[in-house]
Chain A
Amino acid sequence: MKRHFNEALAQELLGALLAQGGDFAEVYWEHTSSQSLFLEGEKLERLSGGEDLGLGLRLVVSDRTFYAHTSDLEPESLLELATRLARGAEGKPGQVEELLLREAPVRFGVRQPPSQVETGEKAQLLHILNQEARRAPQVRQVTASYGNVEQEILVANSLGFMAQDKRTRVRLVVNVIAEDQGKIQTGYESIGGVGGFELVATGAPQMAQSARERAVMMLSARSAPSGQMTVVMAGEAGGTMVHEACGHGLEADLVQKGLSVYADKMGQRVASSLITVIDDATLPGRYGSFAFDDEGTPGQRTVLIENGILKSYMYNLNTARKENRESTGNGRRDSYRSRPIPRMSNTYIASGETDPEEIIAATENGLYVTKMGGGQVNTTNGDFVFEVTEGYLLQNGKIGAPVRGATLIGNGPQVLSEVDLVGQDNGFSLGVCGKNGQGVPVGDAQPTLRIPNLVVGGTEGV
């Protein structure tokens, strides 16, 4: 179903892009169908579907990138657009290699393609979420949503690479709102990943229960403490911390522009020797997995930090070219509307050797984090924040009273150097990561970790 597009047209467009020279040209074709269902107020009310078809053209002339995108796929208007972009270069026509289709290194199985599942069956999941989530008198509102995306891409470039990929993703989300004496708290859960309907077909009752229990429990939670303290992050809490504390700072575009605290640190110690950080697009079923990145480079496993030593940054084709090395397969974009930039896939801190229970028992006082929400980083100075959506006080090595949400703030290199205990466990979370206005699906994970000093942004005990 390569609508309005084929190899010959790709070859012709690449030639038009390089008509006045340039170092690299690329054509990216995409067709995405999506469906979403949304339930709120006990009613299934927003059902939508759609298709997005378009093309992105890229021309690189030394350090300059020229990019254009359009959803008008008439060959004449595509050629006109390519010619407009080509004006960025001034010289003799560049060389376009003959296109050769690349083999996918991994294939992610899709047992139940979402397009073949009845809308009624998807709707049923939302009704289950709604019913299960309402099994507590404090619950005032439940929102539940289901979404699936089937994306087909074809990317071809002047180096002769051509790759085709088909990605199927599903996601199921529930948000429970509980109220007691005017106080409102919420509980959120999501499941899904790269794959078919099978990834969400059975998990609804359990996720609704977790979200409900969290919302209700948080009603009785006290305000989070304020100030510096020891923080233990459970493996099940997700991986927002690693994503913010070092992930973004290891993206090559930020490093090359000198906008990362990790610039000029290759081969140096940037974390405790207990810390190994890996980015791996080839993990089956994870939300950030892919066979090819959005430039046609096969997805890879890249060791970023090994036993505390900085081993690699994450590259796309353009940043790799500047250092005369290979892309690490991290060139991603949110759609044909954006040019690819270095992005994470599934990023995690490798498991350590300590029993998580021992870590708790060994911690006199502090905060125990069992669920993380979103985060953000200032890569220039390394400061990052992440949200705690479920946490408890630690008192004399035991888990104590629950505390309400708070943001934790730390400095990436400092925090990773201070981690003094690493658990044997690991738990993935999924999210949509935003950078330069582009959202891409990612997975992240970390084992149970102890950080001796982190600022907790609560309101108590000031």
Chain B
Amino acid sequence: MELLSLAKQVLSWAQDEELEIYLSQNETTRIEVSDLEVESSNISRSEGMGIRCLKDGRSGFAYTTVLTIGAAEGALSQARESSRFADQDLARSLPEPQGETQVELSSDNDSLKLPMEEKIEFARRIERAARAKDSRVRKVRQSQYADTAYQLAIANSKGLATAHSGTFFTSSILAVAEDAGQAEMGWSYHFARELAKLDLESVGSEAAQRAVALLGAGSVQSAKVPVVLDPTVAAEFLGAFVSAFSAESVQKGKSLFAGLLGQQVASPLVTLVDDGTYPDGLSTAPVDDEGVPMQRTSVIREGRLDSFLFDTYTAHREEKNSTGNALRSSFRSTPSPGSTNLLISPGSQKPQALIGEIKQGLYVTDVMGMHTANPISGDFSVGASGLWIENGELARPVRSIAIAGNWRDLLLSITAVGDDLRWMGGIGAPTICIGEMSLSGQ
């Protein structure tokens, strides 16, 4: 059944309540090669719906993977049942229809239909490029090509009804370099909305280069030194602390930025933007996950905290408008504020020039244990590997060290921002330089 028509059917059952139905359907093909042979080939079809029911400020939710009228009836009665036990919160309500944002969003349904053999060849090209880059690349894990087609529909009892669809393509690889009994790993990833724009060879060679660069790595003495984060690591840091910008975290006393609107929370070099309309971004869509038009929101402007990210509920609590940041991880969850395409605006300096100015410091190319960072207090302590900087040159590889600090201090002590913006999924960052950080080693 067409998604929107099933949604409308469910809405016709609304009693004295607000109802919302969110439906999604996607199909992904994923191919992994190893030693140029297909190691695995996956076809995944996923579909489901989530139903939200609101009555007198009490909210309940239920989902099912079965897209039939009968299953929808079951989910609706479960959502109603759940709502009976919820505490009342009159700020809870569903959004009114507000139209859709015109976004630049390419799609490429033709490439999805390419024969399997051609898709296998894409994954092989990634691996070949990794091996060609350096003879010390001996093994690969997950040399992978994937394509996805998705469609989703959202409708609610206030008359909102919207549907959109799209495609994306990803390439990734983990390469292992070996030399003198030591093995090191390097990875790379890229995504695009059209196959023609997907990097294959450069993903392979970058992973190889990252692995080879770490061969022979050793530890260093503990010190406080300037630290340069490459764009992938900068994006990983930003991703770990995204929740600090959510209005929900702020309202619940879980954000270290609560009460700091308009104040200097980062170096003046830092401009942070959430842009649900970014052309061909991973999260770009006409509407967010509760049907509110996507927009561009300035979060930090030249170091000053400009805005938090709101969904309909958190906006109601402050008598504001949603910023179009309602997100769901899937149809299995209720929406809450999150980032769409979040980016640190690039500066004008080349990364080499940033490194060139450092007498002694660390260039970080990989971190380990980022999920242990505490987004509420801002404290982090993570394993790191990369290259030691000596007199502006990348002198030698290092690993088995840790870097630690606090997210707020990190933002304030950024001394330079590179021109090399790179997207890691929905998070984009350039190379960034941090004045000083604690490094633990021998």
B440 and A458 contact, CB distance less than 8 A? yes
Interface residues of B in 139-187 (CB under 8 A from A): 139, 141-142, 176, 182-185
Determine chain A's interface SS by DSSP, over half rule. Answer: strand
The complex places the Cα of A68 from the Cα of B42 at a distance, in Å, of 5
The complex places the Cα of A410 from the Cα of B60 at a distance, in Å, of 46
Question: Which of the candidate stretches B7-15, B355-363, B365-373, B421-429 sits at the interface with the other chain?
Answer: B365-373
Q: Which B residues lie within 8 Å of A385 (CB)? A: 368-369, 372, 382-383, 402
Interface residues of A in 34-53 (CB under 8 A from B): 37, 40-53
Whether B405 sits at the interface, judged by CB under 8 Å, is yes
Q: Mark B42-59, 1 if CB is under 8 A from A, else 0.
A: 111111101000000001
Chain A nearest CB, measured from B345 CB (Å): 28
Q: Which B residues lie within 8 Å of A48 (CB)? A: 60-63, 79, 82, 333-334
B41 and A386 contact, CB distance less than 8 A? no
Nearest opposing residue in chain A for B383, CB measure: A385
Nearest opposing residue in chain B for A40, CB measure: B252
The complex places the Cα of A377 from the Cα of B185 at a distance, in Å, of 12
Determine chain B's interface SS by DSSP, over half rule. Answer: strand
The complex places the Cα of A63 from the Cα of B385 at a distance, in Å, of 33
The complex places the Cα of A387 from the Cα of B404 at a distance, in Å, of 12
A407 and B184 contact, CB distance less than 8 A? no
Q: Which of the residues B46, B185, B378, B441 comes within 8 Å of A455, measured between beta carbons?
A: B441
Q: Which B residues lie within 8 Å of A143 (CB)? A: 252
Q: Which A residues lie within 8 Å of B44 (CB)? A: 68-70, 337
Q: Mark B383-409, 1 if CB is under 8 A from A, else 0.
A: 101000000000000011111110000
Q: Which A residues lie within 8 Å of B34 (CB)? A: 257
Q: Which A residues lie within 8 Å of B85 (CB)? A: 37, 44, 47, 119-120, 123
With A337-B46, A411-B400, A455-B402 known to touch, is A44 a contact of B40 (CB < 8 Å)?
A: no
Pick the most buried of B63, B138, B334, B374: most chain A CB atoms within 10 A of its CB. B374
Q: Which A residues lie within 8 Å of B284 (CB)? A: none
A381 and B222 contact, CB distance less than 8 A? no
The complex places the Cα of A374 from the Cα of B371 at a distance, in Å, of 7
Q: Which of the residues A45, A68, A81, A141 comes within 8 Å of B254, measured between beta carbons?
A: A141
With A47-B61, A123-B85, A376-B383 known to touch, is A458 a contact of B139 (CB < 8 Å)?
A: no
With A71-B66, A186-B374 known to touch, is A383 a contact of B45 (CB < 8 Å)?
A: no
Q: Mark A246-263, 1 if CB is under 8 A from B, else 0.
A: 000000000001110100
Chain A nearest CB, measured from B374 CB (Å): 6
Chain A nearest CB, measured from B406 CB (Å): 9
Question: Which of the candidate stretches A223-231, A269-277, A303-311 sits at the interface with the other chain?
Answer: A223-231
A63 and B39 contact, CB distance less than 8 A? yes
Q: Which of the residues A43, A47, A407, A410 comes within 8 Å of B89, measured between beta carbons?
A: A43
Interface residues of A in 366-418 (CB under 8 A from B): 373-378, 380-381, 383-387, 404-411
Q: Which of the residues A41, A88, A119, A140 comes within 8 Å of B41, measured between beta carbons?
A: A88
A64 and B83 contact, CB distance less than 8 A? no
Q: Which of the residues B87, B332, B369, B403 comes within 8 Å of A45, measured between beta carbons?
A: B87
A257 and B141 contact, CB distance less than 8 A? yes
A50 and B379 contact, CB distance less than 8 A? no
B82 and A383 contact, CB distance less than 8 A? no
Q: How large is the interface on B (under 10, 10 to 19, 20 to 34, 35 or more residues)?
A: 35 or more
Q: Which A residues lie within 8 Å of B251 (CB)? A: 41
Q: How large is the interface on A (under 10, 10 to 19, 20 to 34, 35 or more residues)?
A: 35 or more
Q: Which of the residues B87, B372, B403, B405 comes within 8 Å of A375, measured between beta carbons?
A: B372
Nearest opposing residue in chain B for A260, CB measure: B183
Whether B253 sits at the interface, judged by CB under 8 Å, is yes
Pick the most buried of A45, A140, A177: most chain B CB atoms within 10 A of its CB. A45
Whether A457 sits at the interface, judged by CB under 8 Å, is yes
B381 and A405 contact, CB distance less than 8 A? yes
Q: Which of the residues B45, B139, B399 comes within 8 Å of A257, measured between beta carbons?
A: B139
Interface residues of B in 17-44 (CB under 8 A from A): 34, 37-44
Q: Which A residues lie within 8 Å of B141 (CB)? A: 257, 259
Q: Which B residues lie within 8 Å of A8 (CB)? A: none
Q: Which A residues lie within 8 Å of B329 (CB)? A: none
Whether B132 sits at the interface, judged by CB under 8 Å, is no
B41 and A226 contact, CB distance less than 8 A? no
Whether A236 sits at the interface, judged by CB under 8 Å, is no
Nearest opposing residue in chain B for A120, CB measure: B85
B369 and A374 contact, CB distance less than 8 A? yes
Q: Which of the residues B60, B182, B332, B381 comes within 8 Å of A224, measured between beta carbons?
A: B381
Whether A331 sits at the interface, judged by CB under 8 Å, is no
The complex places the Cα of A243 from the Cα of B233 at a distance, in Å, of 25
Name 10 interchain pairs, CB-CB below 8 A, sorted by A. Answer: A66-B41, A69-B46, A71-B47, A177-B254, A226-B222, A226-B439, A258-B139, A387-B369, A407-B402, A462-B223
List residues of chain A with CB under 8 Å of any chain B CB: 37, 40-54, 63-72, 81, 84-85, 87-88, 119-120, 123, 140-141, 143, 177, 179, 183-186, 224, 226-228, 257-259, 261, 337, 339, 373-378, 380-381, 383-387, 404-411, 436, 455-459, 462
List residues of chain B with CB under 8 Å of any chain A CB: 34, 37-48, 50, 59-66, 71, 74-75, 78-79, 81-83, 85-87, 89, 116, 138-139, 141-142, 176, 182-185, 219, 222-224, 251-254, 256, 332-334, 368-369, 371-372, 374, 376-379, 381-383, 385, 399-405, 438-442
Q: Which are the 4 A-B pairs with shortest beta-carbon distances?
A: A457-B402, A50-B63, A387-B372, A47-B82
A224-B404, A457-B383 known; 19 new pairs, CB 8 Å cut-off, are: A41-B252, A48-B61, A50-B78, A50-B332, A53-B65, A66-B41, A88-B38, A177-B254, A228-B222, A259-B141, A373-B372, A374-B369, A376-B368, A380-B183, A383-B385, A436-B142, A455-B400, A456-B402, A462-B224
